[in-house]
């Protein structure tokens, strides 16, 4: 009866923030001045900003009013108590360690549990998670199912871990695996969900080896909603009950509240057992601040507490995932190759298919990103060789990632269907003249995480927009 892709937003707009499409000539200048890197653009020069869904959500009137009730006490803050109660209710984990954002929670988890030479196993670690594992001189091990790497697949849970490979890993290296980390949803392959069946299997396997299971819960509510939709056993469950069930199989989680916390900054660790909490606060205090604030203002925790309830609301999730699907379907209908099925927080375009004439070493994804900005002020992000290519330490050869993707991440409760229609038009126009787009070369790169600050220039005529 209801079509989720076209369902009106389940909210009215109470406050607006103007956005403006600056003239094309100005966009060409802006991107040139930015060294052809959209991270260097000024946000007021962007019309539809799909760089990330992280920290870009619109808060509700209830969240804004919750800010006023924040308790800014250094120790024993009421807002911490409230957030503890909420996390305990939504996740089922009673021991809360707030942090300023998700990677800070990862830093604490890795510092407390990972040692040099360890192997941290997961479905597919997010970049910052991987970074923190490497900082401990340990090895990130990604055991995503094969279908998870396919651009188009009808597998409903492309975020699942390959249980056979997990079994082998645990048998061979179990003593070097400090824990298994499931990222729900799996960001790096398109925001793909992990099934409850998979979570259960993983939990049984790790228990048999006495290894803990943690979740990277950044997009837990979107994952829970996909379980409701795609795993028939849970079709009649509430999203809240599904989320609780998911987390009941684990020992705790790291959380970037900038996603499914519906706030602009914040994160936490939460644990089922007191022992992990005791260990975590040893690191939280020096890294993040005292136990009862950990890098957040009391008002931040107050707004987050409200956000965690709103994010599991079925009407919210229906529209949220429906909007992502709407964008993906409309691009697909215009024969733009997108990761299928679409995930929970964005649409990922296979830039290599669109620009077959540009080799990975000349960043086809970046070429597309630059052109989307010039064409319609749309800011996406490259997730291909610019972000992920690296030198093999043994052979010194450049290893390119398997896919050259462009991510269009949709902020929560921010844009309307008209914005999505604009994006579809812009992407379609650019892809239709893909053959004319240039490759790019680097003129500056930092030694790590180079895509954030890289400077580039178009190869050839030096014109990226004709």
* Closest distance to ligand F0G from the beta carbon of 41 (Å): 16
Selected range binding ligand F0G among 9-17, 63-71, 98-106, 326-334, rule: CB under 6 A: 98-106
Beta carbons of 372 and 427 less than 8 angstroms apart: yes
Q: Does 256 bind ligand F0G (CB under 6 A)?
A: yes
* Annotation marks residue 126 as catalytic: yes
Q: Does 377 bind ligand F0G (CB under 6 A)?
A: no
Q: Per-residue string for binding with ligand F0G, 267-286, x by CB under 6 A?
A: x-------------------
Q: Does 54 bind ligand F0G (CB under 6 A)?
A: yes
Interacting residue with ligand F0G among 77, 101, 123, 367 (CB under 6 A)? 101
* Closest distance to ligand F0G from the beta carbon of 259 (Å): 6
Catalytic residue among 118, 162, 216, 300: 216
Interacting residue with ligand F0G among 56, 111, 142, 187 (CB under 6 A)? 187
* Annotation marks residue 309 as catalytic: no
Beta carbons of 442 and 454 less than 8 angstroms apart: yes
What residue is closest to ligand F0G based on CB?
102
* Annotation marks residue 216 as catalytic: yes
* Closest distance to ligand F0G from the beta carbon of 133 (Å): 12
Distances, alpha carbon 80 to alpha carbons 64, 103, 299, 412, in Å: 17, 20, 10, 25
**What does 302-368 look like in DSSP terms, one character per residue?**
HHHHHHHHHTT-HHHHHHHHHHHHHHHHHHHHTT--B-BS--SSEEEEEHHHH-TTS-GGG-HHHHH
Q: Which is nearer to ligand F0G, 86 or 187 (CB)?
A: 187
User: What is the number of alpha carbons within 13 Å of residue 203 lying toward its C-beta?
Assistant: 17
* Annotation marks residue 259 as catalytic: yes
Q: Does 52 bind ligand F0G (CB under 6 A)?
A: yes
* Closest distance to ligand F0G from the beta carbon of 189 (Å): 11
Q: Does 126 bind ligand F0G (CB under 6 A)?
A: yes
* Annotation marks residue 218 as catalytic: yes
* Residue 163: burial class (beta carbons within 10 Å; 0-12, 13-18, 19+): middle
Beta carbons of 409 and 53 less than 8 angstroms apart: yes
Q: Per-residue string for binding with ligand F0G, 214-233, x by CB under 6 A?
A: --x-x---------------
Catalytic residue among 47, 80, 93, 126: 126
* Annotation marks residue 158 as catalytic: no
- Rounded Cα gap, residues 298 and 396, in angstroms: 48
Q: Does 103 bind ligand F0G (CB under 6 A)?
A: yes
* Annotation marks residue 277 as catalytic: no
* Closest distance to ligand F0G from the beta carbon of 260 (Å): 10
Q: H/E element holding 87?
A: helix 78-91
Tokens 């808060």 belong to residue: 59
Q: Does 56 bind ligand F0G (CB under 6 A)?
A: no
What is the three-state SS of 363-401? CHHHHHHHHHHHHHCEECEEECHHHHCEECCCCCCEECC
- Rounded Cα gap, residues 103 and 134, in angstroms: 13
* Closest distance to ligand F0G from the beta carbon of 242 (Å): 19
Beta carbons of 381 and 38 less than 8 angstroms apart: yes
Q: Would you tell me how many other CB atoms lie within 10 Å of the CB of residue 150?
A: 15
Tokens 């597919």 belong to residue: 124
User: What is the number of alpha carbons within 13 Å of residue 126 lying toward its C-beta?
Assistant: 22
Q: Which is nearer to ligand F0G, 214 or 362 (CB)?
A: 214
Catalytic residue among 218, 221, 270, 464: 218
Beta strands 48-49; 378-379: pairing state: parallel
Interface contacts to ligand F0G, rule CB under 6 A: 52, 54, 101-103, 126, 128-129, 183, 187, 216, 218, 256, 258, 267
| Residues identified as active-site | 74, 126-127, 216, 218, 259, 451
């Amino acid at each position: 009866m209801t079509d989720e892709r076209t369902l009106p937003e389940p909210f009215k707009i109470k406050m607006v923030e103007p956005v403006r499409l600056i003239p094309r000539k100005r966009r060409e200048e802006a991107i040139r001045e930015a060294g052809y890197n959209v991270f260097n653009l000024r946000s007021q020069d962007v019309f539809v900003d799909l760089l990330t869904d992280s920290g870009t959500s619109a808060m509700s009137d209830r969240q804004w009013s919750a800010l006023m009730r924040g308790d800014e006490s250094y120790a024993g803050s009421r807002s911490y108590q409230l957030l503890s109660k909420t996390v305990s209710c939504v996740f089922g984990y009673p021991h809360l360690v707030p942090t300023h954002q998700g990677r800070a929670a990862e830093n604490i988890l890795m510092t407390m549990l990972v040692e040099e030479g360890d192997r941290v196993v997961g479905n597919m670690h997010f970049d910052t998670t991987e970074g923190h594992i490497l900082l401990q001189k340990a090895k990130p091990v990604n055991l995503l199912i094969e279908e998870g790497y396919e651009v188009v697949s009808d597998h409903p849970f492309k975020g699942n871990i390959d249980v056979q490979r997990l079994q082998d890993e645990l048998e061979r290296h179990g003593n070097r695996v400090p824990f298994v980390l499931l990222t729900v949803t799996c960001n790096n392959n398109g925001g793909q969900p992990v099934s409850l069946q998979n979570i259960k299997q993983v939990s049984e396997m790790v228990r048999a080896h006495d290894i803990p299971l943690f979740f990277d819960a950044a997009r837990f509510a979107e994952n829970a909603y996909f379980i409701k939709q795609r795993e028939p056993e849970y079709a009649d469950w509430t999203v809240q009950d599904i989320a609780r069930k998911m987390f009941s199989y684990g020992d705790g989680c790291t959380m970037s509240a900038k996603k499914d916390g519906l706030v602009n900054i914040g994160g936490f660790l939460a644990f089922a057992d007191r022992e992990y909490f005791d260990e975590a606060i040893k690191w939280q205090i020096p890294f993040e601040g005292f136990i009862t604030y950990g890098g957040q203002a009391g008002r931040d925790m107050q707004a987050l507490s409200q956000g965690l309830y709103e994010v599991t609301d079925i009407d919210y999730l229906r529209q949220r995932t429906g909007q992502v699907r709407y964008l993906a379907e409309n691009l697909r209908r215009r024969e733009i190759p997108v990761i299928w099925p679409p995930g929970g927080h964005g649409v990922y375009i296979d830039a290599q298919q669109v620009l077959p004439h540009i080799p990975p070493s000349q960043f086809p994804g970046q070429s597309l990103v630059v052109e989307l900005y010039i064409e319609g002020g749309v800011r996406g992000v490259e997730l291909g060789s610019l972000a992920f290519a690296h030198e093999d330490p043994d052979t010194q050869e450049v290893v390119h990632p398997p896919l050259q993707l462009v991510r269009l991440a949709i902020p929560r409760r921010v844009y309307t269907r008209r914005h999505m229609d604009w994006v579809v038009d812009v992407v379609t126009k650019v892809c239709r003249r893909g053959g004319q787009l240039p490759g790019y070369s680097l003129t500056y790169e930092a030694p790590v995480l180079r895509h954030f600050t890289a400077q580039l220039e178009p190869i050839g005529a030096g014109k990226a927009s004709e």
